[in-house]
Chains A and B, each alone.
Chain A
């Protein structure tokens, strides 16, 4: 297609938007509502994933060394934990003395009964391990148990499995919601655009009979749909941004941002919401229009 033909299509596309203002408003509103729903799903799932990730990073794995473990065995465990950077976010070694002190702190006022406790004889070295993803728990536990000097590895397995499973389901739910909303909006938009396409069916018919290609006929409608989608996307992003910012301020007024159930701040989500809205809006508009004109192109 020549540059002139493309510019003509662009001009026709813009004119199409202005030619039927009511259809344009209805199309923008429909896509806008769908994008708001999509944005809501996206923000919900992003927050759910964020919270689950933080929960999963709490020390859910504790490695207990044997009481008589050697320095070399402890070094081997440490080397594994520091080397497995893909799976292990951080680790902290606790000496028998540190474990003793923590034990005393937990006992509070009754800690004096431990005054003569020989911690070097009865308490082991331990490691607190934070994972990058709760889904790696089984693998990390298996590897640790295989290392010499390791007595046992404790993990909150049910919590870990729940978190892994919940993350997966949130991801699947978001994907399904996106696909369903995308298809619904595609259906609605293609039917709306069909009204404006119908009013120009004579024009399309003539275009076919003077030798216009299908692409040439479709392009103005696709551009029209894409521009409508773009306008809807920007509106949806603006509304989502303002609304979430307000909700964030209200909900996080008395909650520390470092808390594990703190929401993701708008600055961390805004650009993703914009990308999702633009991508979905433009695709819904362009595809919906392309589908609407398909029937008339077949002459």
Chain B
């Protein structure tokens, strides 16, 4: 569960990225965060992963009081989160298997269990046959699937994806989204920042729209710009 309570974020430059944002995401939800560039989407993600700290307000991720936790606990928090980036962020010197296993090695997963987990997640993303390939030998879609496998290998409770289809063609984007939907169906919470209106419209999931640091829309089973089913008042806030 993720909870934001009246969260403000002002950067050192004086830019107000978030202004009194409140919302709650329950376990197992699939949520799109949309908005124009500079609206505060990425800041919201950074606050969840504790890449940034809020200027004021409260951020809770499961049992972690993210906004107030000690720096030493940040690695423990991040082990609960699988991150997916627009530019994949794979290690060029490691093959597919090693890239995926890397995440498990860091958290000290036993070798045998790690090998099994890598096999399983590569199977989920349908890349088991390319386990020994290097990242540069893969297409964009395949690289993003490796990144998804890496995000899954530690069995996270939450997957956060920042523009995961930004560098992919529409067809590949569809397959990536289908994969994330499949992961969500197995109980993992998925939060995706995106500009891809077609995907948001087609998938009809909960949509949180941010503009100038405020939530201007929070709707269940919604599209990129339309209201379909409003969420109850007690889980939304910071609205304009």
Residues of A within 8 A of B (CB): 2, 4-5, 8, 202-203, 205-213, 216, 299
Contacts and interface: CB of A to CB of B under 8 A. Distances in A.
Given A216-B106, A299-B51, A206 B89 contact: yes
B91 interface: yes
Nearest to A1: B108
Contact of B75 (A4, A5, A213): A213
A209 B108 contact: no
A211 B154 contact: yes
Contact of B91 (A2, A203, A299): A203
Contacts of B51: 299
B102 A206 contact: yes
Given A4-B108, A216-B106, A208 B78 contact: yes
A206 B92 CA distance: 12
Contacts, number: 46
A211 B78 CA distance: 5
Give 7 nearest A-B pairs by CB, closest first. A211-B79, A211-B78, A210-B103, A212-B106, A211-B75, A209-B83, A213-B75
B108 A212 contact: no
B133 interface: no
Contact of A202 (B75, B77, B89): B89
5 contacts: A206-B150, A210-B107, A210-B150, A211-B76, A213-B75
A113 B130 CA distance: 111
Nearest to B78: A211
Contact of A209 (B49, B91, B111): B49
B105 interface: yes
A5 B108 contact: yes
A209 B156 CA distance: 12
B89 A211 contact: no
A202 B89 CA distance: 7
A2 B109 CA distance: 11
A184 to B, nearest CB: 31
Interface in B73-88: 75-79, 81, 83
Contacts of B81: 209
A219 to B, nearest CB: 12
Nearest to A213: B75
